[in-house]
Structure 1
Amino acid sequence: MTDRNELNAIIQLLEDPDQEVYDVVANKLVEYGTSLVPSLLQVQYASTSDLMQDRIDTIIHQIQLKDAIEQFKQWQASNNPSIIEGLMIVSSIVYVQLEKETTMQMFEQVRKSCWLELNHYLTALEKITTLNSVLFNHHHFQGVLDMTKEEQLFNIEFVLQFKKGNMLSMGALYMALAQELDLPVKLIQVEDHYLLAYVDSQVSFMDLEQKPVESIQFFINPLLGDIYSMEEIDAFLKTQEVNIDKDNYPFHTNESLLLHYTENMFQFYTYKKAYDLADLLKAFLNAVKHL
């Protein structure tokens, strides 16, 4: 038997009703890794067996999960882990046909169009106003307030292709673009609200070894691009009866953002009773939190 014939024979065993046989076959197929996914998808599309289709779906997700954990390890270990790379890793756990190359190309198109409009002579406010104009007027990105509506709004490929995202995916995309454009923008979560903050870092020339002091210049709404002053946000939080230390807003790091993003996806699929997908995301979180 050739390797291809042997592989096809193994795949056909997925229809065996014996659970023990299936477990052995599934473990064997998962070992092949992501290179096997296209072949599995072809068999799945051609099959009329519900059992075969369901089992292939499960195996593909297990392959993607294993690959995502390994990729996240490499992402964490890199010198400058990018948010967009992390978002693609997390999205691929659930959205198994995510095209990473296409997603990166779309991201680069948006980044380049923003970069062409920016220059060093602009003030911080002018830079963000320009970025917002490119995102929301030129590219026509739209934000969806309800985080429980559409599952695809967590899929970064979908967000970039259809220019539509929820509070978290739009906030993550905005922060990813800002980092690539050397703009000090960070995502903040205040209870159920997400805000972007333009953060100025100041170094004391009296003590160069001292950690830079970060101060928020203004806030940005990730859904619309509206810009708010510190006073406006303070007033809003008071109306919502939210107590927070104004001098210590909880900024997301790249890693904490990705873990938070995955946690929200887990909560979404749990809410939708899609427990098989929720279990995958939980397994990913359990694996990477202990790295």
Structure 2
Amino acid sequence: MEETNEISALFKLIDDPDSEVFGAVSTKLLDFGRTIIPNLEHLWETTPDERLQERIENIIHRLHYNDLSEDFRQWNLSGHHDMLVAALLVAKFQCPDLTTAASLVEIEKIRRNIWLELNAYLTPLEQVRIVTGILYSYYGLKGTEINYNEANEFFIHKVLESKRGNQLSDGIIYLILCELLDIPVKAINIPKQFVLAYFKPGYSLEGTTDYISKVEFYIDPSSGMVFTHKDIESYFKRISVPPVHSYFKPLSNKKVIQHLLEETARCFDNEKEFYKKEELMRLADLLD
């Protein structure tokens, strides 16, 4: 953006010690939108004052966050909640300049490899074994327990780069691929776990609360291992929770992304980055 007299005057006031003045200046700069970011970046590069640099970084972050909030609002209002698009938006929270082309290419490469192995005569278990074999053995995706000290394991572009994610991010990649391939695998709301379920072909949930009977089997997304109904019953006994039907209702894409935002927020539960936790929770609230 061309630096006008107004912008130059505002830049001179960024380091004003009066917090009210700085607040007013920030608001004015935010009104310019993301087009002013290059000017702010140039100012950051040409100032040796660390305190001033920190203030500039804060304004740039807020400009990116405002844009991201609008992107989430638009996604929320869209008719089809594309999980891949939303997972990449979550990644843009941490990496606002992220270009998504590499992630899209990786997902398409995996999808095509799976599609080449599928045919109409395969059983549900055979379908899932192909998805799992390509994703974990051929492609080499690794899964770990959720660790809130490893924020990168929540961001899909980082998971695709490193081929290492956690139960949630791996599960989202698994769900994206199944959705692209019309395989009826959905996330369900099992307590303290992110578990996928293969729903019987042609299943309908209209007028029923008996979701359990619609499930063929379950999948652990951190490894692709398949579980039976008995395995899940044993898990509920172990945690002393009754397996009510609502735990087996398939989660919508919106609910899965909301869960991703809430879990990612827990990575920033410290004094220095607490503002990031609050911002991610506000994004999650947008999807209510």
How many angstroms apart in 2 are the aligned matches of 1:116 and 1:202? 23
Aligned residue type for 2:120: H
Q: 1:195-241 deviations in whole A, cap 9, x for unaligned? A: 1111125469xxxx967986111111110111111122222332232
Please give the residue correspondences for 1:4-23 in structure 2 after superposition, counting only pairs within 5 Å: 4=3, 6=5, 9=8, 10-11=10-11, 13-23=13-23
Q: Once structures 1 and 2 are overlaid, which stretch shifts more, 215-224 or 26-35?
A: 26-35
SS class of match (1:187): strand
Q: What is the percentage of aligned positions where both structures have the same residue?
A: 27
Q: One-letter code of the match for 2:254? A: E
- Cross-structure match for 1:275: 274
Report Cα offsets for 1:11-34 as digits up to 9, x if no partner: 454333332332233223323333
Number of the residue aligned with 2:78 = 78
Aligned equivalent of 1:103? 103
* C-alpha deviation, 1:36, in angstroms: 3.9
1:196 aligns with 2:174: no
The residue aligned with 2:215 is 216
1:197/1:217 contact within 8 Å kept: yes
Name stretches of at least 5 consecutive residues in structure 2 with no aligned partner.
none
Partner of 1:114: 114
| Aligned pairs for 1:9-88 within 5 A | 9=8, 10-11=10-11, 13-45=13-45, 47-88=47-88
Equivalent residue for 2:128? 128
Equivalent residue for 2:181?
181
Aligned to 2:224: 225
- Output the amino acid matched with 1:92: K
Tell me, in whole angstroms, the C-alpha distance in 2 between the residues paired with 1:174 and 1:79. 22
Aligned with 1:158: secondary structure? helix
SS at match of 1:3: coil
- Residues 278 and 202 (structure 1 numbering): CA distance in 2 closer, same or farther, change over 3 Å? same
- Residues 186 and 199, structure 2, Cα contact 8 Å, conserved in 1: yes
Counterpart in 2 of 1:3? 2
The separation in 2 between residues aligned to 1:13 and 1:272, in whole angstroms, is 27
Alpha carbons of 1:3 and 1:169: their partners in 2 closer, same or farther (altered >3 Å)?
same
Contact 1:218 1:229 (C-alpha < 8 Å) held by counterparts: yes
Report if the CA contact (8 A) 1:203-1:213 is conserved. Answer: no
Separation in 1, partners of 2:133, 2:38: 40
Other structure's SS at 2:233 match = helix
Listed one character per residue, the Cα deviations across residues 41-94 of structure 1 (whole Å, up to 9, x for unaligned) are 454455432222222222222222222221122212222221011112223223
Aligned partners of 1:110, 1:40: CA distance in 2, in Å? 40
TM-score by length of 1: 0.85
The Cα shift of 1:182 comes to 0.9
Q: Which amino acid aligns with 1:259?
A: Q
Distance 1:7 1:73, change over 3 A: same
Task: Assess, with a 3 A threshold, how the Cα gap between structure 1 residues 190 and 37 changes in structure 2: closer, same or farther.
Answer: farther
Query: Does the CA-based 8 Å contact 1:188-1:194 persist in structure 2?
Result: yes
Amino acid at match of 1:261: L
Counterpart Cα distance in 1 of 2:46 and 2:142: 37
Deviation at 1:131, TM superposition (A): 0.8
Counterpart for residue 284 of structure 1? 283
- Residue 138 of structure 1 aligns to which amino acid in structure 2? Y
- 1:158 is aligned to 158
C-alpha separation in 1, matches of 2:280 and 2:257: 12
Matching residue of 2:260:
261
Q: Distance in 2 between matches of 1:56 and 1:94?
A: 17
**Whole-angstrom distance in 1 between the partners of 2:102 and 2:47:** 28
| 8 Å contact kept, 1:188–1:249 | yes
Structure 1 gap segments, 5+ residues each:
none
For residue 28 of structure 1, what is the amino acid of its counterpart?
Answer: K
In structure 1, what is the Cα distance between the partners aligned to 2:270 and 2:217? Answer: 34
